[in-house]
Structures are given as structure tokens and as C-alpha cells.
């Protein structure tokens, strides 16, 4: 009790002004929390979400091809578990040779601490479903992830040759591409919608914008005037243009330059805009990381006889990327939330667009249910953003960002 009293005095009631601020904002916080709990548990009419859950999650995705999505989810779960197991096995072999670490209680507790919010939201979504399909898919995905996690260390310990490691890397990298082709073969991207479309736009843009940002960051620091000029022009022009305007141009003005038959689909145009827009910001973030690397690191690399390319790839760039992990993840989270602009600018049927149109249905028209649909959309976006932020902090702690 004394420890609690001392903590309160030091942190909340150190001075009379601190005490007044604590009481005022504490009362406001209690009121906001009470209204939120009351809205969620008492006054909120969540039938509109339950009835339209399929639209909110996958949009107009054809019902006949939904099993393809289920297969993709299960395979991705196994793929993620396998990669996690391989990485863990390599870390153990590098740090404590001969020690095997499987799914121990501590590891399970760590996973729960990292992904508890996502788990709660998944359970909530399952509770809103009226068919057994999502429950079966979730159970199979969990089982596949566990089996992949258990098999990963075995594969990681057997992977001793560099050639074998390269082949394994290529094989694992081909899994998402094969799954994408498998799903698109049943239903094209133009038929996707809801939260599925937001995730697809964000993941594709994240994967593509990172190498673009690194290349243009290096190009802006290049000693070749032409490369430096082109990189600078790209970064400054793209960063100076509003994202919404670029999406509008991709949606409306592209037909003046490209024949309709050759123009890519709207989701593809959105991915291109998100990729190059975020790539410009990522380039500036990486450039800041490059400037943070001490000059002595470059001089030490030169003293070892490394070529300029190897100096950058092996010494400078890894440290630069490590130093700017928080800024990179923050930009990627911003990209994920910006995918909602594709609905307004390009009429894509993404989550926020779906949530805004549900209240126009005959059975819900005029009932003022926008708070419920928008709150559900906000919950999904916040869950993904929060999980990304927590994982970023975990990586920072493991790499010692800001501590050494």
C-alpha cells in the first residue's frame, strides 16, 4: 500500500496543478470508458454487422470460390509457422549450439502476449458467424500453424548447405505467389472486397515499396549526378502530391494515356499508386538511416578491402535499416490505413466503403446505424495497426535499437 501511495504522489499528485489535472482528466477518461462500454454492450445495435459480416470481410467475393480462401488461410498459417520454426532453430543454433527449443510454455505465453488482441477479435468475428465454415477454417489454421512451428526447427537443423538454404528460401517465397494465383484463378481481384481487399492492397504495396525506397535512398546519395537528380525529382515530386489526388488521376486520367484494353484493373492501379507514394516516403526514411551510420563504419569497411557495393550491402545498409525501424513501421501502418482512400477515389468496394453503404439497405435504412458499422471497421484497422506496432517494438528490443 505504501508503494502505491508513493507512486501516486510521485506521478499523479506531485503538485497541486498535477492533482487538478489528474482529477479532471481522470473523470473525463472514466466518462469516455463508461460511454464506450455502454455503447458496445447495451445501446449498440449490432445486427447490421452480424447480417452483413460476409460483405464486410470479403465483399462480393463469389460464394462458390470461398473454399479457395479457406485453403489459402490454412496454407498461409502453416507457412508462417514453418518460417517461425526455421528462424527460431537458426537462432538457437547460432547462440546455443545443440539446444532445441520447441513450443514450450514460455513460447506459448509469448505468443499470447503478442497476439492476444488479434485472437480476441477473431473470436468475436467467429461469434458473429452463423455457419460452421469459419470455425472449421480457424481450427485448421491453428493446427497447421502449430504443425509448421514444430516442423520448422527440424528443417532448420537439417539445413546446413548454403545452396540448400537458397533453395528453401525460394521455395518458401513462392508459396504466397502460388496461393495468389490459386485464389485469383477462381475469382479475379476486381471481385474482391471488404477487409480482404484492404489487406491485399496493403500487403502488396508494403512488399513492393520497400525495395523501391531503398534504391531511391541510395540513388539520392549517389555520386553520379544523373542518378542523384532522378532520385531527388521522384522523391520530391511524389511526396509533394496528395495521395488522394494521385488515386483520382490513376482512376480517371489514365484512360487519356493508355488504351482501355491495356489499362490495368483498378486494384492494380491502386497498388501502383500506393507503392510509389509510400516508396518515396520510405526513401527519405532510409536516407535518414544512412546518414545516422557513423563514418567510422565506412572507413572500417574500406580498411577490410570491401568493394563499395559490399560496404553498402554488408555494413552500412543493415545498420541504417535497423536504426529507422520505428519510422518504417509507422509509414507502413499509415499505408495500411490509407487503403481506405481507394474506396473514395476509385470506387473500390473496400471495408470503409462497405461500412458506409450498409445503412442504405432497406431493412436498416433510416435507423442511424453508421456508428456501429464504422466502429466495427475501426476495430479491424486498429487491431492490425496495434499488432504491427507491438511487433515493431519487439524487433526493436531484440535488435537493441536506441540502446547500443
Which residues does residue 350 pair with via DSSP β-bridges, in sequence order? Answer: 194
Specify whether 202 is located in the same domain as 180.
no
**51 in any annotated domain:** no
Averaged over 286-315, what is the pLDDT? 88
Of 159, 186, 213, the residue at which a domain comes to its end is 186
Specify whether 210 is located in the same domain as 127.
no
**54 in any annotated domain:** no
- Give residue 17's domain range: 2-43
Specify whether 237 is located in the same domain as 380.
yes
Specify whether 77 is located in the same domain as 38.
no
Averaged over 318-347, what is the pLDDT? 92
- Model pLDDT, residue 138: 94
Q: What is the DSSP string of 49-108?
A: HHHTHHHHHHTT--GGGHHHHHHHHHHHHHHHHHHHHHHHHHHHHHHSTT----S-HHHH
pLDDT, one tens digit per residue, over 214-236 is: 999 999 988 889 999 999 999 99
**CATH at 320:** 1.10.3720.10
Task: Tell me: pLDDT of 26 over 70.
Answer: yes
- Model pLDDT, residue 97: 43
**231 in any annotated domain:** yes
Specify whether 85 is located in the same domain as 179.
yes
Averaged over 373-388, what is the pLDDT? 94
Specify whether 243 is located in the same domain as 156.
no
Specify whether 287 is located in the same domain as 395.
yes
d(CA 259, CA 95): 57
Specify whether 128 is located in the same domain as 238.
no
Of 167, 186, 205, the residue at which a domain comes to its end is 186
For residue 350, the SS3 value is strand
- Model pLDDT, residue 29: 94
**22 in any annotated domain:** yes
What's the mean pLDDT when you consider all of the chain? 86
- State how many domains the chain has: 3
Specify whether 147 is located in the same domain as 261.
no
Averaged over 171-176, what is the pLDDT? 78
Averaged over 128-150, what is the pLDDT? 91
pTM equals: 0.87
Specify whether 147 is located in the same domain as 173.
yes
Specify whether 182 is located in the same domain as 98.
yes
Task: Tell me: pLDDT of 98 over 60.
Answer: no
Specify whether 271 is located in the same domain as 300.
yes
Amino acid at each position: 500500500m505504501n508503494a502505491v501511495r508513493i507512486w501516486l504522489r510521485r506521478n499523479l499528485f506531485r503538485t497541486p496543478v498535477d492533482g487538478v489535472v489528474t482529477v479532471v482528466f481522470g473523470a473525463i477518461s472514466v466518462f469516455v470508458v463508461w460511454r464506450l462500454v455502454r455503447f458496445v454492450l447495451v445501446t449498440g445495435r449490432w445486427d447490421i454487422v452480424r447480417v452483413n459480416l460476409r460483405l464486410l470481410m470479403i465483399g462480393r467475393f463469389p460464394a462458390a470460390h470461398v473454399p479457395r480462401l479457406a485453403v489459402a488461410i490454412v496454407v498461409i498459417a502453416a507457412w508462417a509457422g514453418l518460417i517461425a520454426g526455421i528462424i527460431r532453430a537458426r537462432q538457437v543454433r547460432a547462440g546455443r549450439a545443440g539446444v532445441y527449443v520447441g513450443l514450450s510454455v514460455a513460447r506459448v505465453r509469448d505468443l499470447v502476449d503478442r497476439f492476444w488482441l488479434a485472437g480476441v477479435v477473431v473470436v468475436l468475428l467467429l461469434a458473429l458467424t452463423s455457419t460452421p465454415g469459419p470455425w472449421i477454417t480457424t481450427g485448421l489454421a491453428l493446427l497447421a500453424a502449430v504443425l509448421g512451428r514444430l516442423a520448422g526447427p527440424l528443417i532448420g537443423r537439417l539445413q546446413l548447405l548454403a545452396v540448400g538454404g537458397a533453395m528453401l528460401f525460394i521455395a518458401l517465397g513462392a508459396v504466397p505467389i502460388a496461393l495468389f494465383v490459386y485464389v485469383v484463378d477462381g475469382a479475379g481481384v476486381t471481385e474482391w472486397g471488404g477487409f480482404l481487399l484492404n489487406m491485399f492492397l496493403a500487403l502488396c504495396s508494403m512488399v513492393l515499396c520497400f525495395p523501391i525506397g531503398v534504391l531511391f535512398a541510395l540513388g539520392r546519395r549517389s555520386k553520379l549526378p544523373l542518378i542523384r537528380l532522378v532520385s531527388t525529382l521522384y522523391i520530391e515530386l511524389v511526396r509533394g502530391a496528395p495521395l488522394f489526388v494521385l488515386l483520382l488521376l490513376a482512376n480517371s486520367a489514365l484512360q487519356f494515356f493508355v488504351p482501355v484494353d491495356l489499362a490495368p484493373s483498378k486494384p492494380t492501379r491502386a497498388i501502383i499508386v500506393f507503392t510509389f507514394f509510400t516508396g518515396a516516403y520510405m526513401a527519405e526514411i532510409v536516407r535518414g538511416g544512412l546518414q545516422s551510420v557513423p563514418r567510422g563504419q565506412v572507413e572500417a569497411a574500406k580498411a577490410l578491402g570491401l568493394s563499395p557495393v559490399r560496404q553498402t550491402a554488408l555494413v552500412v545498409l543493415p545498420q541504417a535499416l535497423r536504426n529507422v525501424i520505428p519510422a518504417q513501421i509507422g509509414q507502413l501502418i499509415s499505408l495500411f490505413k490509407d487503403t481506405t482512400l481507394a474506396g473514395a477515389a476509385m470506387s473500390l468496394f473496400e471495408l470503409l466503403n462497405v461500412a458506409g453503404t450498409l445503412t442504405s439497405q432497406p431493412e436498416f435504412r433510416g435507423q442511424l446505424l453508421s456508428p456501429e458499422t464504422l466502429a466495427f471497421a475501426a476495430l479491424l484497422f486498429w487491431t492490425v495497426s496495434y499488432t504491427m506496432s507491438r511487433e515493431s517494438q519487439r524487433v526493436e528490443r531484440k535488435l537493441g535499437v536506441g540502446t547500443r
